[in-house]
Structure 1
Amino acid sequence: MQTSWQEVAKLSEQYSSTRLEYWLNETLFTISWWVLLATTLGLCIVWVIILDKKRIFEILSYGFMVSSISTILDALGVILMFWQYNHTLTPLSIPIEIHIVQMPIIYMIIYQYFRPWKTFLIAITINAFIFAFILEELLVWLHIYELQSWEHIYSFFPYILIGVFIKWVIDKFGQKYFA
């Protein structure tokens, strides 16, 4: 049996309306939602206070690349049913608060404060450990994140590789723009 585009569009419409209804009735103003809101706003405030304004373009470039790569990888993981998000700050199926705000801010803070490669590698590895084995588990416990065919250990190396790859790109190609 072949699926028509009209069937796909109809299912997409059903999914969108069901997702919005679920978000309004089961997510909005729950403990999980408040945790996402508080951590997102809190990280934004801290970041604005500690941001090295002299390096703002360089640091924002790093954060934008972290955001772009992590959002694409996360969307891929959701599509492949490796994981799902039961609760998000907005009714979108991808948690923009995590991949557009929180994760990039944490990576930008590491990038800002750990410039030499040796200390950066140590910091990004510690960060990957915390993300994969503590924060992901906390998100599971809060019913924000649900693993389906994924294990926390699988996240550890990608968290490192994202930070290292983007630092390498900025160091290699950004020198003439950020000097």
Structure 2
Amino acid sequence: MNTGEEHKIVERAYKTIAQTSHEYFHYWEKHVFLHWSWWLSLVLTVLPWAIWWKWRDKERTALFMFTAFFIIIACSWLEFIGVSLGLWYYSGKVIPAIPSYLPWDLCLIPVTMTLLMQIRPYISPFKKAIFYGALTAFIGEPLFTWIGLYIPVHWKHIYSFPIYVLIY
């Protein structure tokens, strides 16, 4: 394939993506923005960090912020891949232009992980990772599926378990 043909194929793909994003924005504006799922998602974006700010180990704030930053990068990257491959999608998004669910990747996961790291520090991190993976994959994800914010298409909650354990 020559460069001109490749360029046209890529250009068509990006135009399709732009058109789909435009259509989704109009859907989001009419059916999600300021509806119950949007408000819940907004609360789930702000509340975890407010809780973290109050309950964090103030002497180790920098360490936990660095840890949270790593978790956010890892989760956002994996989320982007999963959504892009059509493995799952979200409703009630706070911001329509981000393919992943902002409260999950940038708030709930890093905050709960860093808080769990602070609770009972003498417990083995491996045991905490197993606990966290089970809690998130088998309680958190099904709960978000039940309320309609997380829609797995070609994904099962069991697949998430080892990923959460590894991230922890």
**Superposed pair shares fold, TM > 0.5:** yes
Q: 1:104 is matched with which residue: 101, 110, 120? A: 110
Contact 1:110 1:124 in 2 (8 A): no
Q: 1:143 is matched with which residue: 142, 148, 154? A: 148
**Distance in 2, Cα, partners of 1:121 & 1:37:** 32
**Distance in 2, Cα, partners of 1:133 & 1:31:** 24
Q: How many equivalent pairs are there?
A: 162
Aligned Cα RMSD in Å?
A: 1.8
Residue 34 of structure 1 aligns to which amino acid in structure 2? W
Q: 1:132-164, CA deviations, whole angstroms, 9 ceiling, x for partnerless residues?
A: 11111121122211111110111111111111x
Asked if 1:66 is matched to 2:36, the reply is no
State the shift of 1:115 in Å. 3.0
TM-score by length of 2: 0.88
Q: Where does residue 113 of structure 1 map in the other structure?
A: 119
Residue 117 of structure 2 aligns to which amino acid in structure 1? Y
Q: Where does residue 166 of structure 2 map in the other structure?
A: 161
Contact 1:128 1:157 in 2 (8 A): yes
Q: Where does residue 59 of structure 2 map in the other structure?
A: 54
TM-score by length of 1: 0.83
Asked if 1:95 is matched to 2:101, the reply is yes
**Distance in 1, Cα, partners of 2:60 & 2:119:** 11
Q: 1:37-74, CA deviations, whole angstroms, 9 ceiling, x for partnerless residues?
A: 22222212111101112111111111111111111111
Q: Secondary structure at the match of 1:28?
A: coil
Contact 1:82 1:147 in 2 (8 A): yes
Q: Where does residue 18 of structure 2 map in the other structure?
A: 13
State the shift of 1:114 in Å. 4.1
State the shift of 1:29 in Å. 1.9
Q: Where does residue 170 of structure 1 map in the other structure?
A: none
Contact 2:137 2:160 in 1 (8 A): yes
**Distance in 2, Cα, partners of 1:76 & 1:116:** 35
Q: Secondary structure at the match of 1:133?
A: helix
**Distance in 1, Cα, partners of 2:129 & 2:40:** 24
Q: Secondary structure at the match of 1:84?
A: strand
Contact 1:32 1:87 in 2 (8 A): yes
Residue 14 of structure 1 aligns to which amino acid in structure 2? Q
**Distance in 1, Cα, partners of 2:44 & 2:103:** 9
Q: Where does residue 125 of structure 1 map in the other structure?
A: 130
Give structure 1 stretches of 5+ with no counterpart: 164-179
**Distance in 2, Cα, partners of 1:82 & 1:116:** 37
Give structure 2 stretches of 5+ with no counterpart: none
Q: 1:81 is matched with which residue: 68, 79, 86? A: 86
